[in-house]
Chains A and B, each alone.
Chain A
Amino acid sequence: MGTPPAPYVTSETRTTTKLVRPSRTTTPSSPRAASIMAAGKKTGVKEKTPEGAPSPPGYRAIPIKFSQDQASSHFLYIKEHRVRGGAKSSWPPDRTLFVLNVPPYCSEECLARLFAACGPVQSVRLHEKPDLSETPKESSVFFCPKPVPGFHVAYVVFRKPASLPKAVALQGPLIISAESHPVKTGIEKWIADYADSLVDPEALRLEVDKFMEEYDKKTAAEDAKAEAEEGVPDEEGWVKVTRKGRRPGLPRSEAASLRVLEKEKRKKARKELLNFYAWQHRETKMEHLAQLRKKFEEDKQRIALMRAQRKFRPY
């Protein structure tokens, strides 16, 4: 959710050209494109990992298993995180490992532990889809329920750039749930999740209070600013009219403008004379006939369709 518009914005009626929001420059949200392009660089160079698991160009396949007992394994596809020149990325360029196809039972802690073998890990972040920016984690545990995990992509940031080549050269298979670090799944996990979902009312209250305090502060500041700008022309001489002014205008919203249009239309319709002149009369009749014909044609088509579907066999 983007930042919601401050309340007074909704009541703007006339804004200067300068008040027009700049359309936000969309960051080329094409991590997909980026990765494809990254992949494109090395087309033709088909790598084979020593174990024999084929991997796409640019990536390395590392088998990963839940535990020692599993017969077959998933494959993590990893590579150094790189982007094309133009695109911005908030991940540190030479210390970040890009991991594809992380199984649902593999958490961030788990990945950190697995890659710790290559060097100290600074952070691990799981995403649904490749994401170039390091979005902060949602702070509230009360209002943003924990999503159900699926397959993820991960960005593993090492402390030192030297860890990266080690990671790329890592040999599998990786074991997620070792005896020393068991990972809960199934019944145990659901019970743990259930326990986590029980909230402490006091903590919730505190969080709400804190949020509202900040919110009140923010709205108060905005109100004060609006108050100060009230009736004051900007540098080009435009004055913003708001609901709070001396002559409140119509709210500048779609619904309101539609209402006005509708009103105009009705006014116009009242003035018009119908079936007054002979030609009007004639035309209405012809229009009626045309409607009939059109309907007849439609009906014929419907019948043809029903006939095709054998809809007329009574039994």
Chain B
Amino acid sequence: MGPAPEGAPGRGAPKEPEMIEPIMEDTESEENKDSPPSKKRRAGTQDGGLPPPVELSEAQLYQEPTNEELSQMKETENLFHSNLLRMQMEELLKEVRLKEKKQQRIDTFLHEIKQWLLTVPSTTVTEMTDQSWLPKGVRVPFIQKPYAVKGRFQFLPPTQVTVVGSYLLGTCVRPEVNVDVVLTMPKEILQDKDGLNQRYLRKRAFYIAHLGHHLSRDPLFGSVRFSYINGCHLKPLLLLRPAGKDERLVTVRLYPCPPPGFFRLCRLMPSKNNVRTAWFWDKTTPEEGILDSPTPHYNTLLLCDEVMESHLHLLSAMLASSPGLRDGIILLKVWLRQRDLDKGTGGFSGFIVSMLVAFLVSARKISKSMSGYQVLRNVLQFLAATDLTVNGISLCRSSDPSLPAVADFHQAFSVVFVDPSGHLNLCADVTVPTYQQVQHEAQLSMAVLDDKTVDGFQMLLMTPKPMIRSFDHVLHIHPLSCLYAACQRLKLWSELQDHGGDYVAAILPTLTALLERGLGSRLILLTHSRAPVPQWEINQNPPKHKDQGALSLGLLLRPEGLVSVLEMGPEADHPEAADFRQFWGSRSELRRFQDGSIREAVLWKAESMAEKRLLPHQVITHLLKLHAGIAESYIHYVGGSLDPLIRAPKEVHSTGEEALAMVVRAYDQLSRQLWGLKGLPLTVTSVQGAHAALRYTDVFSPVPVWLDFTFHDHLEKRDALLPRPSKPCPAFVDPINVVCHLEGSGQWPQDADAIQRVRAAFQLRLAEVLSQEYGLRCSAKASHTDVYKDGYVFRVRVAYHREPQILKESCTPEGMVTLRDTPNSALLDRETRLLPQLTSALHGLQQQHSAFSGVARLAKRWVRAQLLSDGLTEESLDLLAASLFLHPAPFTPPSSPQVGFLRFLSLLSTFDWKNSPLIVNLNGELTAEDQAEIHSHFLESRIRLPVMVIATPQDRSHSLWTKDKPSAQILHHLVNLAAKALPILEKHLMDPSESGDIRMVFRPTLDVYDVLIHLNPRHIPRHREAVDLPAASFSRGLLESTGPSRRLPVLCYDPPSLYLSQLRKAFGDLALFFYDQHGGEVIGVLWRPDSFQPQPFKATSVQGRMVVSQSGDLMTVPNVEAILEDFAILGKGLVQTVEARSEKWTV
């Protein structure tokens, strides 16, 4: 069902409610299920469903191969992973490449620009500080600080206009097509010493300011704006867009450049200074003893412009004859783009990658005949294996001794990749964390490509990896102005000077190094991302540094490191101790350890798992305050924002992992006791848990209950407690299911009814023996024994391993015994065999990935909060959560519930449920061949399988946990909800200034429902588990103190669910009921549109309907008025009001 048909006409004849849009032509009605696949469904598969069966005639299949065909096959085998991959890549390239037609349009536009540029009028010569010649409507796109600078400026039309960059090379990537145009400034504009003190850079800015002013008056251009090259605020550029419908087609970027050979390269070596300290800090008299430190980054800016054209020649020579390389570069660009690596200052841009390909070609690691896929693979391989922060590479073949050596570059820059001229470091702006991220991603991608069971194409090139979804925790520093103070405190004067005052760029290396050291073993990867490069109108001032959004840091955490709360330092008498003390400040203490050593150490305060996960927050806050003076209010740490949603009502610190561990401990004890029972005639062969709490996925863990007897009624003859009608409903106690298998023996009868009786006898005996041998309070029923232990109630169920088999047996008329699944046998098999297996597998998963519990519970919480408690089985949700950990590609397994939940939403909304099964390889039991088999089986029998198919090693082909639900409509609804919730949540988490409520994605929209049934909180036992903690609270008959309890609590008594089962039974044909079992106060009712069609009278289907006379015919329609009253009657005491919301049923 889709979104509410808002504003849709709600009056008139019985309108077909629009909320049901089946994804597959599949309705829930029984007739359809039983009948063979209808024509309709077949039709449905044709358009966008499964591929129709392949039709190749026998003759076609076995004809002699042509030479061409053979060579194509050979090529695919050699150059690509598989045929499918080859075609996928080709399709992708088709999608991102520029179309021929558009290219022509762009070419004409470029031509027009060129004409225009040459006719821009010149100006007279003025001093650079005198900017009065600039017209009113334009501002210089340059932060002129300090303002005073020597030199004269004059505008003259460019001597040359050249198109450079990816457009020319044919490696540009849609949809944001940028065409770079270089304007060579005439020599007359420039002066001899323009390399010094930003003079050249400012002249560039004046140049485009004047150009911008003139171009903006032309109707040819849709928009004329300024921006920065790679986000570097010293190098503005002019963006032009065509007017009219082509506005989105292309952005032309104008770069002014000096005439060739203008700068002397030796003056721009990394060790040289070109920004004088005295000038930059505006000191009139140069102070003694202050040295002008090297300005490598500033020098790089000038060098870039100088050598730009030679790079272009190099690349175009390389790509001219090699379409494979070109494809490879495009693929690499897509790869970078999906990972947000190529954006902003210090990004690993498409240009760097192109140059890297050039390097690998020159190093003979890539040959020109390779395919795009091979280029991608080889570059990733190279990146994964090479650390450019230690071993820089160089494209320069010259052995000129005057050139700076790679080691010189390493001193000045963190990442080194020298260009052919030998002077420019192409990776000058790339920081260590960015490169590490590139390397990390390359390693992950290589692993994906080598793994046959994952769709590498999808993972590498089609899946976006935004920061918030890739990193466990994210930290925003906002507002940025605090970083300037931090720069001063850290005395980063020369860095500031080098970066021309960009304090964010100046402090980043120091900041990240500080945090990396502090987080140490807790961290796998730290990265940073700055706000996107700004664009602004030409009549505005360039944005200031502090206005540029926030600095975001992403933390990928090492789960093993999160366990410890101790930072062990060196022994007290070691020389490093002082350094440790200095680093940690007042938090460092001398401690004596068990092995007798006395060491410096830092002890953090964290008791629960949830708090330990958030330790990085404490560390970062402390370190930033101590070393950089950044106050806590500037740090917006996003890591545990969703924790409150899985925190039990009374918890403060924990998110329930500890409570669940306590349940498991009690269960372990009980299972030992069961093993040790002496009074049973048969021995116990296995004790297995079969409850969500025992696999750590119960949203709110069971808690020990101690009862207040006066709160309850007593049923003396059964020695039991009853809820008292006059009191609020007692606390909800969900017994923890345990399956206890007894040994096989010849004594077991081989008849289903008799086995049932024998089991009942065992249940009785079990209760007796448990209370005799261990003094546990027990109560037996025919199918289970409830055991009250440590405040928990366990429901032990005796099982006989052959029983499902016996239920399956049936005899054919020929006397042959066959095994056929029956509903009873399937249910028993599921409950006594598969559920315990699943529980133990997921229990194991939790031991490996401590965040699993949190993710699975958040996922469940969210689905239930959308009133879909009964839409899906909880096991299927557990499996979905497990798949995030077992198949994390292209990510790493989540280490925080937050990121896991985001990926859950993304999985739910993007997975192609219709065309592929979700394989959850528990314990890694499935081999690649097994998985291929599951896939092919899926394709063969898609029509017979449920809408959502989850395969596990234990359940390879039937998808047991999704067999009955979700229905096609519910799944569709859920997918829609997830797709809507994800961007809202991500935006919220990525925006530090957002003050809205995180819970909003957990609040369901009630607009869609036809009827709302409001319930009385008095009788909702789990009322306090609601998403928004309710104001009212009721006594539930519990005592605080522990103590022996004579009687079992009231079990499984949940009025809302009892009510719902009655409603579904009575009105299930007419309506769907939606409810959140965690304290929902509202039941949403949707009428089924098909049942509201008048139907002819049938004795088998008059439930709740009435006969009306319609234009002479007698038809039946639902008796809605009476049904609405029934809602209130059936839920007497629980229902507050029944609110009918729309008039869909008035005939």
Contacts and interface: CB of A to CB of B under 8 A. Distances in A.
B1099 A32 contact: yes
B717 to A, nearest CB: 8
Contact of B757 (A19, A23, A208, A299): A208
Given A253-B818, A314-B337, A72 B813 contact: no
Given A54-B1109, A142-B760, A301 B813 contact: no
Interface in B901-917: 915
B816 A20 contact: no
A294 B61 contact: yes
A238 interface: no
Contact of A212 (B754, B1053, B1099): B754
Interface in B69-113: 73, 83-84, 87-88, 91-92, 94-96
A301 B51 contact: yes
Interface string B698-739: 000000000000000101011010110100010000000000
A4 B751 contact: yes
B1131 interface: yes
Contacts of A130: 1099-1100
Nearest to B713: A191
Interface stretch (B125-133, B253-261, B1119-1127): B1119-1127
Contacts of B1114: 46, 54, 56-57
Interface in A1-21: 1, 4-5, 7, 9-10, 12, 15, 19-21
B279 interface: no
A103 B1126 contact: yes
Contact of B95 (A55, A103, A298, A314): A314
A215 B751 CA distance: 10
Contacts of A286: 62
Contact of B782 (A104, A142, A298): A142
Given A186-B1132, A255-B819, A307 B813 contact: no
Interface stretch (B242-250, B426-434, B1054-1062): B1054-1062
B817 A252 contact: yes
A215 B95 contact: no
B818 A305 contact: no
Interface of B is mostly: mixed
A55 B1130 contact: no
Contacts of B1098: 32, 36
A45 B1133 CA distance: 45
Contact of A188 (B751, B1107, B1132): B1132
Contact of B1125 (A66, A142, A143, A150): A66
A84 to B, nearest CB: 14
Interface string A20-63: 11010000000110011001000000100000011111000100
Contacts of A15: 815
B1122 A74 contact: yes
A148 B725 contact: no
A66 B1125 CA distance: 9
Interface in B206-253: none
Contacts of A254: 816-819
Contact of A314 (B461, B767, B824): B461
Given A290-B62, A315-B464, A150 B1103 contact: yes
Given A150-B1065, A299-B84, A201 B767 contact: yes
B1134 interface: yes
B1111 to A, nearest CB: 13
A143 B87 contact: no
B61 A312 contact: no
B92 A312 contact: yes
B1107 A303 contact: no
Interface in B300-353: 334, 337-338
Contacts of B9: none
Nearest to A22: B813
A309 interface: yes
A186 B1130 contact: yes
Interface stretch (A117-125, A192-200, A268-276): A192-200
A71 B1121 contact: yes
Bin chain B's interface residue count. Answer: 35 or more
B751 A7 contact: yes
B1065 A149 contact: yes
B56 A1 contact: no
A292 interface: yes
A194 B723 contact: yes
A309 to B, nearest CB: 6
B609 interface: no
Contacts of A296: 83
B817 A309 contact: no
A101 B725 contact: no
Interface string A245-288: 00000011111010000000000000000000000000000100
A104 B1098 CA distance: 19
B814 A198 contact: no
B1099 A35 contact: yes
Contact of A56 (B94, B818, B1097): B1097
A206 to B, nearest CB: 11
Interface in B486-528: none
A46 B804 CA distance: 53
B718 A200 contact: yes
Contacts of A21: 811, 813, 815
A158 interface: no
Nearest to A7: B750
Nearest to A73: B1122
Contacts of A185: 1129-1132
A72 B811 CA distance: 52
B138 interface: no
Given A72-B1125, A187-B1133, A300 B1055 contact: no
Contact of A20 (B175, B751, B815, B1068): B815
Contacts of A300: 87
Nearest to B1123: A74
A6 to B, nearest CB: 8
B1114 to A, nearest CB: 6
Nearest to B781: A199
Contact of B1103 (A151, A215, A298): A151
A212 B1059 CA distance: 37
A12 B812 CA distance: 12
Contacts of B56: 293-294, 297
Contacts of A189: 1132
B772 to A, nearest CB: 14
A151 B1104 contact: yes
Contacts of B1065: 104, 148-150
B563 interface: no
B752 interface: yes
Interface string A200-212: 1100110011011
B642 interface: no
B924 interface: no
A72 B827 CA distance: 41
Contact of A143 (B60, B175, B756, B764): B756
Nearest to A310: B95
B1108 interface: yes
B771 to A, nearest CB: 11
Contacts of A75: 1106-1107, 1119
A166 interface: no
Given A39-B1099, A148-B1062, A199-B782, A190 B754 contact: no
Interface of B: 48, 51-52, 54, 56, 60-62, 65, 73, 83-84, 87-88, 91-92, 94-96, 175, 334, 337-338, 461-462, 464, 713, 715, 717-718, 720, 722-723, 725, 729, 749-754, 756-758, 760-761, 764, 767, 779-782, 809, 811, 813-819, 824, 915, 1019, 1050, 1053, 1055, 1058-1059, 1061-1062, 1065-1066, 1068, 1097-1100, 1102-1109, 1114, 1119, 1121-1122, 1125-1126, 1129-1135
6 contacts: A21-B815, A104-B1062, A104-B1066, A186-B1134, A299-B83, A306-B91
Given A142-B760, A314-B334, 6 more contacts: A54-B1107, A150-B1065, A211-B754, A252-B816, A286-B62, A293-B61
